Structure 1
Amino acid sequence: MTILTLDTDMFHTIAPKGLRAESADLTAAEFRSRYCEHNGPIRLDDWSPAGSRTAEFTATVEFADHLRTVTAAGSPVAAMTSALYEEGYPVEILQFHQRRTPDGTVTFVQCECDGRRGWGAGLADDGAESTVRAMIAGVNLLGVS
């Protein structure tokens, strides 16, 4: 698992229109802290793509009292949505935006869980890991427990 850094000003520039409007008064550092940090009850503990020729991945997600490993082929959104639901986080992805940058792939997701909505963002080498990071950041931002 590689953690990348992206010029935080770029997050404002490439964010979806709704998120740019919501975060217009934030500095780049505040934007990153609010939408990209993974502080909360859910954390990505480990990540590994299964191979460069397949769309498979394995993610180990840490919940409050245990780890759960998700192995999937295909959509990381579907796999993570199912895993989160089974752990008591009935999350729905309302908007999904992904951009490739020179620094990696940035994913923005607008999540809804228990009637609350919020954005999450993630950056990683590949789109699947970026998606998982964004989903976790979004659910944690909602403070769902």
Structure 2
Amino acid sequence: MTILTLDTDMFHAAAPKGLRAESADLTAAQFHVRYCGHTGPIRLGDWSPAGSRSAEFTATLEFADHLRTVVATGNPVAAMTSALYEEGYPVEILQFHQRHTAAGTATFVQCECNGRRGWGAALSDDSAESTVRAMIAGVNRLGR
């Protein structure tokens, strides 16, 4: 995993219009805490490209009592949605926005899980990792 220095003002500015409106009263730092939070029932334990093709990846998800490794080729949204569903998190992605910034790829997803809706966001130098982290942030936010 690559650790990036986050320019929270830039990250907040990259958010889609609906999310910026929803979070208009938050500072950039508060936005990061609310939408990119790393607390909740699911954590990304490990991330790595699975092969020589950039569309392959391996993600290890940490749940309260076990680990699950997801190896996928292609679409990280489909792979994560399937894995989360099998773990009891029937998440649906309602909106997906990705922006390439000077700091990396910013991903914003609006999720619905068990009748609740909320946004998750993440930043990474790898677009697939950014997607996976945003999805986890969204599901964790809904689980609070």
TM-score by length of 1: 0.96
SS in 1 for 2:117: strand
C-alpha displacement of 1:64: 1.0
Does 2:20 align with 1:24?
A: no
C-alpha displacement of 1:52: 4.8
Residue in 2 aligned with 1:99?
A: 99
SS in 2 for 1:78: helix
Q: How many residues align?
A: 144
Question: Structure 1: which amino acid aligns with 2:111?
Answer: C
CA distance in structure 2 between the partners assigned to 1:18 and 1:7 by the alignment: 20
Residue in 1 aligned with 2:66?
A: 66
- RMSD of the alignment, in Å? 1.1
Unaligned residue ranges in structure 2 (runs of 5+): none
Question: Structure 2: which amino acid aligns with 1:25?
Answer: D
Does 2:75 align with 1:79?
A: no
Unaligned residue ranges in structure 1 (runs of 5+): none
How high is the sequence identity, in percent, across the aligned residues?
A: 84
The residue correspondences of 1:29-40 to structure 2 (distance < 5 A) are: 29-40=29-40
TM-score by length of 2: 0.96
Residue in 1 aligned with 2:135?
A: 135
Q: CA offsets per residue over residues 39-65 of structure 1, 9 Å max, x none?
A: 101000000012453410000000111
Residue in 2 aligned with 1:114?
A: 114
CA distance in structure 1 between the partners assigned to 2:102 and 2:6 by the alignment: 9
Question: Structure 2: which amino acid aligns with 1:139?
Answer: V
C-alpha displacement of 1:115: 0.5
Question: Structure 2: which amino acid aligns with 1:108?
Answer: F
19-28 vs 49-58, greater mean Cα deviation: 49-58
C-alpha displacement of 1:2: 1.2
